[in-house]
Structure 1
Amino acid sequence: MMDALGKARLPAAAKGVEFQVCDGYAVLIGDCFADGRSLAFVEASGLAGLALAARAEGKWEILSIWNVVPVWIPKGREEEDFPEYYNIHPKPPENPYKLVDLDGDRVPELLVNFNDDGYSLGYAIIKLSKGEALPKLLDVFSSRYPPQARAGYFLTFRDSKRKSWWGETNYHRWEKGLPVHVATWHDDAYDPENDYWQVTRDDSDIVLRIYHREGFEIKEMIATPKDDGETQKAYATVKVDWKPGQRPSGDDMGGFEEAELYLFEKLTGIPAAAFNDTVNGKPIDEVLPLMKRIRVRVTGSEDAVRKLSQPVEKKRK
């Protein structure tokens, strides 16, 4: 590892960052955190992890080592050359590192690809908080899909690995340089006849499950003794259609994507714009403007009607 660092070249451009392969090691080198330091991230051979080194007085000094093993397929090699990656989706990239600002503080976070249980490409997150000298490996990570920053929230993802049964998005806020979990939106298709969305919030003990039936049937999930599992209590029925004359041309889903965004916003308290970059495969920027065209009718508990109903539109004089 140290020999590989000795062969790494600092970028010629000031504040530049480069990915290099030195003696078979994946190295990210340069002003990685935009603070003027010459740093290098490199695979830590024999230590099964990732090392951070700093350059000072012509020498590299190891600052930190984390238990994250970068996963990558070098340029010119094929996936078949790495049978241990055969089941990983998506395919490991040529460069396992990516710098991206996830919290808007103009200091990039480092994403490191790793093998998540042999089936998904994971994204570990290393963050340098302002005023600190050493970055930290965050407790949260994303699987299969890279984390996103949307509308002031930080999104990470999980799913059922090789079986396409369920997927979920976890929403976080940044507080004092660390992500704090706010809510989870779970999409479950294990039983195609009873597929559903489920929402949990950190500020509430109530878990709500939304079944995709004629309209949307929302049930409150109630925990029971371990042997009995869960029971369900009716919470609300929500019917969504288009306002008169507002149905967009080419719509074949009856406002399904718009309804998901509407229910997401109402039940999580998070802006619809933070949902994801896509909704049921459609770019969210195409769906968001259509939300104002849907009509929502709610029946159920008093709390549900209050929480889920659309605001009353004031009539123009």
Structure 2
Amino acid sequence: MKTIFACIAVLGIQGGKAGEIVGIVWQTPQEVLAAIDPGKTPDTPTVWHSPRGPVVMHGDLFGDGRHLALVGTEGTSWAIAKDGAWEMAGGLDVPPAWVPPGKTTQDPEYGQYYRCKPPQVPFVLKDLDGDRIPEVLVAFSNDGFSTGYAVARRKDSGIELTSISSQRGEPEWIGGYLVVTTSFWGGRWSGFGNTYYKWKGDTAVKMAEWLELGGADKPERTIAVRHRDDGKGQAFEIVEEGNGSWNVRTCVLKGTDETEDEKDFARIRLTPIPEKPGHELQWNAAPANDALVFELITGIPGEVMKFPYGKDENYDFRTAVASIRLEVEGSEEAKAILKRVSR
């Protein structure tokens, strides 16, 4: 059953019956690697698309001198070149998603991707912890509506899948934080959520979650969770009231987006300072305000905030907030928690 479900995840179901799966009959990873010379390590990691469907990325993936290969079939496997031959070394429990060159999501075998556009190559090498050794990202289809990426790392002499995955797009390494999109949906109302991690050794520790909600039948609001050193989190509901004012309430988070036991905590006021240098950048006030509120609530510098639809290339957090006056109204506890961390 595991193999059947893996094929369904990659190829899709025509007519809703497993017996009507349309597409290729997958080769084994060993059969795929027979076409690649294990004794010739390319100068940079190289991608090869088999005419029968599978995809391979191979080379010195981690810069440690080993010739490794990632193989995408109905699952993800990896192998190491030893003594002139490929030795299968393990697998990653991720059915990879990709649409090869020359194919589209309109082709029968890739037609299960309803809204997302999987990449041509399901493997990405990207440094997500600043140690100059790349992590391995494996693209997967998130229910056919977005392309997510699972994160694997070099572990001793192998590759190990972590518990971290992005539900939309590639994870990012921003200002010393690993930023992962952990929720994203749309329709009559929409929301996106990012989770922010700090690496402690080989472990990614959750520091904050940031979820923005809104839509035709729901008021716009933000839910944030700030995690403490003891692993416990404090949830906040943040509602923008207009005129540079935000109301902050503590709450208990239920599920993804519902809250209960809301209690008034503080009010944040942000007003422009015309006489400050940088006033000419007041057109940047909206993202700067959002990022400053993010900083106060999460304790993470505002320049780390990942905006759902990107930001203007001229936007600079530190320059923009130089012309913003900050006031926090509330108890001494609230003022001690909601404070600037960037300067």
Q: Shorter-normalised TM-score: what interval?
A: 0.7 to 0.9
Distance 2:133 2:157 in 1: 13
What runs of 5+ residues in structure 2 fail to find an aligned partner? 1-27
Distance 1:14 1:160 in 2: 38
Q: Specify every segment of 5 or more residues in structure 1 that has no aligned partner in the other structure, as ranges.
A: none
Distance 2:58 2:198 in 1: 29
* Structure 1 residue corresponding to 2:93, chosen from 61, 67, 72: 67
1:220 maps to 2:246: no
Q: 1:172 to 1:309 in 2, by over 3 A?
A: closer
Give the whole-Å Cα distance in 2 for the aligned partners of 1:279 and 1:78. 26
Distance 1:271 1:142, change over 3 A: same
SS class of match (2:130): coil
TM-score, normalization by structure 2: 0.79
The aligned runs of 1:260-271 (5 Å cut-off) are 260-271=290-301
What is the aligned partner in structure 1 of residue 209 from structure 2?
Answer: 184
- Does the 8 Å CA contact 1:119/1:162 hold for their aligned counterparts? no
The secondary structure found in structure 2 opposite 1:139 is strand
The answer on 1:295 being equivalent to 2:325 is yes
Note the C-alpha offset of 1:216: 0.7
TM-score normalised by L of structure 1: 0.85
One-letter amino acid of the structure 2 residue matched with residue 7 of structure 1: A
Inter-CA distance 84–162: structure 2 relative to 1 (3 Å threshold): farther
- Give the whole-Å Cα distance in 2 for the aligned partners of 1:188 and 1:77: 36
Q: Which amino acid aligns with 2:97?
A: V
Aligned pairs for 1:129-278 (under 5 A) are 129=155, 132-163=156-187, 165-190=190-215, 194-203=219-228, 204-214=232-242, 215-222=245-252, 230-246=260-276, 248-249=279-280, 251=282, 255-276=285-306, 278=307
How many pairs were matched up? Answer: 300
Is the contact made by 1:98 and 1:112 (CA closer than 8 Å) also made in structure 2?
A: yes
- Residue 123 of structure 1 pairs with residue 149 of structure 2: yes
| Structure 1 pair 301–51 and aligned structure 2 pair: CA distance change class (3 A) | same
Q: Is the 8 A contact 2:38 2:85 kept in 1?
A: no
SS in 1 for 2:335: helix
Superposed CA offset, 1:199-242 (max 9, x none):
11221542111101131111111479xxx961321111222121
- Out of 55, 69, 73, which is 1:26 matched to? 55
Q: Does the CA contact (< 8 Å) of 2:140 and 2:148 recur in 1?
A: yes
User: Where does residue 77 of structure 1 map in the other structure?
Assistant: 103
Structure 1 residue 307: Cα displacement: 3.6
1:109 to 132, 135, 153: 135
**1:233-279 superposed Cα distances (whole Å, 9 cap, x missing partner):** 111122212113347447457x2221211121122111222212x47
RMSD over aligned CA atoms reads 2.7
Q: Determine the C-alpha separation between the residues in 1 that align with 2:86 and 2:339.
A: 61
Question: Distance between the aligned counterparts of 1:169 and 1:209, measured in 2?
Answer: 15
Q: C-alpha distance in 2, partners of 1:3/1:279?
A: 42
Structure 1 residues 43 and 309: alpha-carbon distance in aligned structure 2, compared to 1, 3 A threshold: closer
CA offsets per residue over residues 67-110 of structure 1, 9 Å max, x none? 2111111111122112111232xx11111111111111121111
User: How far apart, in 2, do the equivalents of 1:55 and 1:303 lie?
Assistant: 58
CA distance change for structure 1 residues 195 and 39 in 2, over 3 Å: closer, same or farther?
Answer: same
CA distance in 2, matches of 1:299, 1:243: 19
Amino acid at match of 1:106: R
Contact 1:158 1:168 in 2 (8 A): yes
CA contact (8 A) 2:98 2:121 kept: yes
**Contact 1:17–1:29 (8 Å) recurs in 2:** yes
Q: 1:57 to 1:205 in 2, by over 3 A?
A: closer
Identical-pair percentage: 27
